[in-house]
Amino acid sequence: MKKILLLILLSIALMLNAQINLNITSTSVGTAPISSFFSYSYVQQIYPRQELNAAAAGNITGLTFYVDPSATINDSSNWTVYLGHTAKTGFTSGTDWIPSAQLTQVFAGTVTKTNNKVEVIFTTPFAYNNSDNLVIAAKENAPSIDINNFDEAFRVYPHIPYSTLYYKGDRMIVDPATPPGGIRADYKSAVTISGLTSSSTPACPFVNYPVNNAQFVSLTPNFKWLPVSGADSYTISLGTSAGGTDVINQQAVAGTSFSPSAPLNPNTTYYLKVTSVTGSLVSSGCTDVVFTTIPPVPVNDACSGALAASVFPYTYTQNDAVSATNNGGFITTCADAMNDGTWFKFTGDGGQFTVKITMPSGSAYDPQMDLYSGACGSLACVSAVDNGGGGTAETYTFTTTAGTEYFINVGAYEETVDMPENTFTITITKL
């Protein structure tokens, strides 16, 4: 009899432990898993495998969502719930719904708020494979709304950008096979996922700055990551090789950001690893975030270092413009002032010349090109050229004076804010 009782107690303990809690103490509210403030809603949320941190694949038997204590959901309680797998971590647009064919209906019926919770017990468990990310989708079918202090009733927490996509309105029940355009959100439902056992170590944090394989990262970066549910603190390691710790060796950090105490080296590839700590447990299997710092300051950063064009057509691609400094401040020689970017020069011969600035395909960089005559320290404005927007070429054709030296400054068009320059190609053609 004692053995049977012990087995029963052990089974109950295992069942209670077979759950994953994600930010269940959050106090913010939002439109997830449904909207209580509109008659009808349909919401899809993506929970990455890394965040779930399940010990193994298993059957999800239910979900618990958390409600603001002051809120009611009496008129927002007719739910249909779906689960699915996806490789996505976020939604790319308001119409980037995960197809209904990839989802499995796990519940349909009336839910109730009990002790500030809504528990959804599945009719049939959902087999989660623990290799894909989890999709939780829900639609609310009741034609009326709940009036609450904060409009929406359910607790949410911030996470990966655009990890939630929702539609809410008063005109129709949503068909998940053909949902209308929705709105993306950077939060998700605080939730308990029943049936899965959490890993024995805390989850690895999501590093949101810098992103993996980022280029031109500042020499004084502020590393940032998303909080891990249940984590007490984090550790930072930084090295110049995979898994390296030669720059920072498991530095303990209380918050979710960290800046190195000394500037990093320019044009260097680094490997960043952030782990989370809960008690004496440290997350395992966390991968490096690889990034490369900005190059050294360009040789033509100042007027005195202007690159000389003597053979035409002259073409130069400035790949290190992002490291240009603003030197003594904004260039105000022309009435349309600009950032001090990088410099070029050539000598006129009395003929016509065309100067053109182009950007790589897909670039949003918006440069201004100012042309001057004279000498550094005593420049005279020839023209300020800023006719297009981001990614648009800038061109200027003019007649030169023989023997006159002309200078070209290519920088950000802003005249009151020091903005970074970016990659461009300058072409100087003699007509």
Q: Are 150 and 78 in contact (CB under 8 A)?
A: no
pLDDT for residue 5 is more than 60? no
Could you tell me which CATH class the domain 15-194 is placed in?
mainly beta
Write down the pLDDT at residue 17.
62
pLDDT surpasses 90 at 146: no
Q: What class does CATH assign to 303-430?
A: mainly beta
pLDDT tens profile 419-430: 999 999 999 999
The residue among 85 and 229 whose pLDDT is bigger is: 85
305 phi and psi angles, rounded to 5 deg: -105, 20
pLDDT tens, position by position, 48-64? 999 999 999 999 999 99
pLDDT at 99 over 90: yes
pLDDT exceeds 70 at position 9 = no
* Residue boundaries of the structural domains of the chain: 15-194, 207-293, 303-430
Q: For position 2, what pLDDT does the model report?
A: 44
Interval 309-356: pLDDT, tens:
999 999 999 999 999 999 888 999 999 999 999 999 999 999 999 999
% residues pLDDT > 90 (the chain): 90
CA dihedral sign, ordered 182, 185, 189, 194: positive
Whole-number pLDDT of residue 151: 87
- Nearest 5°: CA angle at 184, between 178 and 185? 140
Instruction: Show the tokens assigned to 268.
Output: 């260097």
| Residue 13 pLDDT > 70 | no
| The pLDDT of residue 117 is above 60 | yes
Task: Tell me the C-alpha distance between 186 and 314, whole Å.
Answer: 47
pLDDT the model gives residue 76: 93
pLDDT surpasses 80 at 294: yes
Q: How confident is the model at residue 3 (pLDDT cuts 50, 70, 90)?
A: very low
Model pLDDT for residues 202-244, shown as the tens digit of each residue: 999 999 999 999 999 999 999 999 999 889 999 999 999 999 9
Please compute the mean of the pLDDT values over residues 270-290 and round it to a whole number.
Answer: 96
Mean per-residue pLDDT over the chain, rounded = 94
Structure tokens at 75: 């008129």
Query: Of all residues in the chain, what percent carry a pLDDT higher than 70?
Result: 96
Q: What's the confidence (pLDDT) of residue 184?
A: 98
Please say if the pLDDT value at position 395 is more than 80: yes
Structure confidence at residue 148 (pLDDT): 82
Q: Is 25 exposed, middle or buried (0-12, 13-18, 19+ CB in 10 A)?
A: exposed
3-state SS, the chain, equals CHHHHHHHHHHHHHHHHCEEEECCCCCEEECCCCCCCCCEEEEEEEECHHHHCECCCEEEEEEEEEECCCCCCCCCCEEEEEEEEECCCCCCCCCCCCCHHHEEEEEEEECCCECCEEEEEEEEEEEECCCCEEEEEEEECCCCCCCCCCCCCEEEEECCCCCEEEEEECCCCCCCCCCCCCEEECEEECEEEECCCECCCCCCCCEEECCCCEEEECCCCCEEECCCCCCCEEEEEEECCCCCCCCEEEEEECCCEECCCCCCCCCCEEEEEEEEEECCEECCCCCCEEEEECCCCCCCCCHHHCEECCCCCEEEEECCHHHCCCCCCCECCCCCCECCCEEEEEECCCCEEEEEEECCCCCCCCEEEEEEEEECCEEEEEEEECCCCCCCCEEEEEECCCCCEEEEEEEECCCCCCCCCCCEEEEEEEC
Q: Average of pLDDT values for 398-412?
A: 97
* CATH topology identical between 207-293 and 303-430: no
The band of 171, judged by pLDDT with boundaries at 50, 70 and 90, is confident
Q: d(Cα 176, Cα 183) in Å, to the nearest integer?
A: 15
Instruction: Return left, alpha or beta for 258; rule: phi > 0 is left, psi -120 to 50 is alpha, else beta.
Output: beta
For the segment(s) 207-293, the CATH number from 3.40.50.300, 1.10.1060.10, 3.40.1350.10, 2.60.40.10 is 2.60.40.10
Provide mean pLDDT across the span 5-26.
Answer: 63
Gap between the terminal Cα atoms of the chain: 102
User: Comparing 14-28, 116-130, 298-312, which segment has the lowest mean pLDDT?
Assistant: 14-28
Peptide bond into 125 cis (omega under 30): no
